[in-house]
A = this chain, B = another copy of it.
Amino acid sequence: MKKQYVLGLDMGGTNSVLGVVDKEGKVVARASIKTQQYPEINDYVDALYHEAEQLVAPLGGFAAIRGIGAGVPNGNYYTGMIDGAMNLPWPHVPFAKLMSDRFGIPCTITNDANAAAMGEMIYGAAKGMKNFIMITLGTGVGSGIVIDGKVVYGHDGFAGELGHTIAVRGENARQCNCGRKGCLETYCSATGVARTAKEIVSSSTSATSLRSLDIDHITSYDVFKAAEAGDEVAKQIFDFTGTLLGQSLADFIAFSAPEAIFLFGGLTKSGHWIMEPIVKAMNENVLSLWQNKVKVQFSALNEADAAVLGASALAWE
């Protein structure tokens, strides 16, 4: 039996999606389980095994599977450990080993943003690029950095925490879950947009449709809908967000001189409302040699597939 498929796993705090991927990057079968339903890691791995068994049955069973690649929160490529993932039932586990042992197939892991970067490089808009940065704009801000065709893992496997570079310094900067102040993700994640909306709406008297919503539950999607309807305050919220992100991107460029920066995740649904201020601020703030030279694009992969595809790419290595 030729081993012509791999398994890709996208583990999220809520759902875990498992896909069987062929050499052309097609997800030929998929299943999903609820991550939080398994307080014991061995039960979770077992559940994945049973789902996989059914997926691979028509392909000739596990003999057709060359490897498993997993994108997991706080996953460390070097050690195979999940390390400090506070939104999982098992924040510290040797996940790659548990999977390899249960499946009898080698398993490699990385974090979700790195998996998205690999997916983009192999199957998406970064095809053929050797130097780019993937920024994921979801509940937090993550990043996967590709230099010379390879994802950067650094000395300890944790490189690429650009969501925790400091966007705003000083005592008045926003508190981050990481314990510090002013991290990029406190401003430029979907959650950051909601915080900005709350701040701007409650501190001004400008007319805005956002005022009719429960101020503690405004979402970035509410702000998007308001901007689409012509709401000036909503546009101001995206301008503020995009300007801060663009300023930070300008600094990231000085580090690795990427050909392009890709944006991925929930906040990208805000389209040009977020993209325009990002590109403007990036070009206004970057060293002149890079002005108007670095592409900024939304990911070409659909969110449902990107992480599974990216993770699966690890298994071909």
Which A residues lie at the B interface, using CB under 8 A?
A: 84, 130-131, 145, 147-148, 150, 152-162, 164-166, 168-169, 178-180, 247, 250-252, 254-259, 285, 287-290, 293
Is the CB–CB distance between B166 and A169 below 8 Å?
A: no
Is the CB–CB distance between B255 and A160 below 8 Å?
A: yes
Could you tell me the distance in whole angstroms from the C-beta of A81 to the nearest C-beta in chain B? Answer: 12
Q: Contact partner of A155 among B130, B150, B159, B166, CB < 8 A?
A: B130
* Further pairs besides A84-B289, A154-B256, A154-B258: 14, Cβ < 8 Å: A130-B155, A145-B256, A147-B147, A148-B152, A153-B257, A155-B258, A159-B255, A165-B251, A166-B250, A166-B285, A169-B169, A169-B247, A178-B287, A179-B288
Q: A152-B147, A251-B166 are in contact. Are A257 and B158 (CB under 8 A)?
A: yes
CB closest chain-B residue, reference A83: B289
User: Which residues of the other chain, B, contact A155 by a CB distance below 8 angstroms?
Assistant: 130-131, 257-259
A71 to B84 CA separation, bound complex (whole angstroms): 42
Is the CB–CB distance between A162 and B247 below 8 Å?
A: no
8 A-B residue pairs with Cβ-Cβ distance under 8 Å, sorted by A, are A130-B155, A153-B257, A156-B293, A160-B255, A161-B287, A165-B251, A166-B250, A169-B247
Q: A147-B152, A251-B165 are in contact. Are A178 and B258 (CB under 8 A)?
A: no
Q: A155-B131, A169-B247 are in contact. Are A162 and B289 (CB under 8 A)?
A: no
CB closest chain-B residue, reference A166: B251
User: Which residues of the other chain, B, contact A250 by a CB distance below 8 angstroms?
Assistant: 166
